Structure 1
């Protein structure tokens, strides 16, 4: 059995099909991990969501910030933004099936046997993977529960910006969701720097990529993530960034996780969006 982790698709459905063909994916024996952001900004958001939904029996999907944005817009808790390509999903005859499936996806996945964890964005320095898994379950219980709307209405926002186990209610859940779906940089004191989005080297003074913070509790625990197209392919001993900017004309990446060493597979992407237009 082969296990492949795939980076951000963001509505690039044709590229996903080409990547699955490139890796000779066999649903009878292989498994897929998707690092979130299945939808939005690319031209085939509906097709991409349908394709991954069809693969549900063999796919593990973690939610990304664009997936959460879709859920919020669909339930009247958010507004479509310039550059969004969510309308075909919102008007699809199978929208409720797709959206109900999507909102029940996890925010964090941990596979002790394989020795990898999967998240869309990153982990605050104070969390190890066990803590991330525990806290993710709290937010998942609300997002996938009988009434996610109250949280979706207060989900947007950058505060609180400091983790404390004493946090309660919506502020606690907002921090958890922001960390797992929006994080790129953290400050010296571990607080998220959510406004910084460029490649390493462009960040404000006193900020570090989340995986480079000197006190990172998850160091040595292998984490696969997406979300950061300006970072590009990132492979270290314990962190594996797979958002290689397919949406922007880069590549769509799969990383084979089983075996002695992870192996990279990629397909070129023509570029669904010109940088700077959304």
Structure 2
């Protein structure tokens, strides 16, 4: 595949346009990813591609805020999301809307997957996420992993979602990489400084490829593909998975000596 073909197949760009809902439905475990930057209240639209009468009729939804303060309304309930807070929305919630909560607009990142039964909505503040430090300075991969939607946090049917932030001197994520043969995953890269980039590695170990990623762009990782990245500066990324199970460590490591 050429660079253009790789980008067309795996890169999700242009997800954040002020005043618009932008959503891409993938064939990777029916994951859908997108964003909205509301300047006033904006209801969550229904999509013909889902074959249902409203968005969450048979789907669950994870919402991350990577911008200014924002509000998500689910029916009569109101949830305030500051930067890096996350809201889980279970199936069966017909009336969902997004709005700003100040002059600095929120930037909501949305990931959705099929759900077999309703679960209650749950807000997870960034300070409440389950946090673990990984990596070391010698390998330039110091990073903090934060779990938000997972069996030990906000419970879901199959969606698992969290955030990883690189520490000082850290540029590598998920090294050594792995595959999830029973789950698909999407990485949203953000807080990449202007003029900096991330090289996201994908493919099979014997046939590695890369996609150049810029701020607020996402990459699809199907079950057969390794996934990791290296940046020209520190950055953050939101990872979201769906598939056969929710076991975080259910992965197949890819030793570096197998790369080609």
Identify the TM-score tier after normalising by the shorter chain.
0.3 to 0.5
TM-score by length of 2: 0.36
From the two aligned structures, give the one with the greater strand fraction: 2
